[in-house]
Structure 1
């Protein structure tokens, strides 16, 4: 059963790292023991070289079928090169249909991958290194069933 988990992880990585000219950054971090603790705040750093370009920022979420809720609340902070927050929001993402309970996203077996548009048409104020911090904001600590979270930054097509 463990080999299936690794196979899904490899397929997920292969799909996300395929040829994509608009992608500026993408990274996913595994959640230890597939149980996201509130104190575990994954951080992602990326470089923006062209602040004149417009970008979309996505959140990636991988969950197991045994995740107990239909949604996931996540607090996200976008931090600028000067260390000051540029955007702080609470995002609600739907992992399952709230009426039927059917898993959403791409998946096979008992693992599902999601990509949510979090910040649309964003213009970074300057070139430099930016950070995104993600914190689970559910009423459960730890939160079982969340296997990985990530961030993707891509250029918006003109």
Structure 2
């Protein structure tokens, strides 16, 4: 009985985390070696352009990752392929002084969720694509296990 209760709690935690998510996807980085030419793309549909959205990076790295931070370039394109924006972002994966990892860890793997855009209004309904490229200039960049994005409905602001 106790085990069933634990299973139910875990299921509720997992299922209840992203109730506002309209899109969540990861791409695994083969052998944890992220080549500069490997720029994963994530395509999603926006059905309500009046709704604000929060957009996040999802990242998994190994403790063996050699830097405290990670630079990524993101490209947001509309259904026609027109670039709406591109931007360089810095993600801080570990405390620069202590080396203590940020994020949620299990063994030597750490998961991170970084806010990219808060209360973003897409210009119109339709399909959008976000492409992500590592910008660390090490090729390949080692010990990045997966990268992804989450698009969530934001709480309405009044």
| TM-score (norm: length of structure 2) | 0.88
Query: Is 1:83 paired with 2:119?
Result: no
Structure 1 residues 61, 125: closer, same or farther in 2, change over 3 A? same
Give the one of 82, 87, 101 matched to 1:103. Answer: 101
Counterpart position of 1:119: 117
Counterpart position of 1:18: 15
Runs of 4+ in 1 over 3 A off after TM superposition: 14-17
Counterpart position of 1:60: 58
Is there any run of 5+ residues in structure 1 with no aligned partner, and where?
A: 1-13
Instruction: Provide the aligned length of Structure 1 versus Structure 2.
Output: 145
Is there any run of 5+ residues in structure 2 with no aligned partner, and where?
A: 1-10
Question: 1:21 offset after TM fit, Å?
Answer: 2.5
Counterpart position of 1:3: none
Does the residue aligned with 1:18 lie in a helix, a strand or coil? helix
Counterpart position of 2:3: none
Give the one of 36, 39, 45 matched to 1:38. Answer: 36
Distance of 1:133 and 1:126 partners within structure 2:
19
Counterpart position of 1:9: none
Distance of 2:96 and 2:37 partners within structure 1:
27
Determine if contact 2:59/2:146 at 8 Å carries over to the other structure: yes
Determine if contact 2:36/2:137 at 8 Å carries over to the other structure: no
Q: Which has the larger radius of gyration?
A: 2
Provide, for residues 110-136 of structure 1, a one-character-per-residue CA deviation record: whole Å limited to 9, x for no partner.
000000001111101111110000000
Give the one of 9, 16, 27 matched to 1:29. Answer: 27
Provide, for residues 77-115 of structure 1, a one-character-per-residue CA deviation record: whole Å limited to 9, x for no partner.
111122111121000000000010111100021000000
Does the residue aligned with 2:73 lie in a helix, a strand or coil? strand
Question: 1:15 offset after TM fit, Å?
Answer: 9.3
Distance of 2:112 and 2:12 partners within structure 1:
12
Question: 1:139 offset after TM fit, Å?
Answer: 2.1
| TM-score (norm: length of structure 1) | 0.88
Counterpart position of 1:50: 48
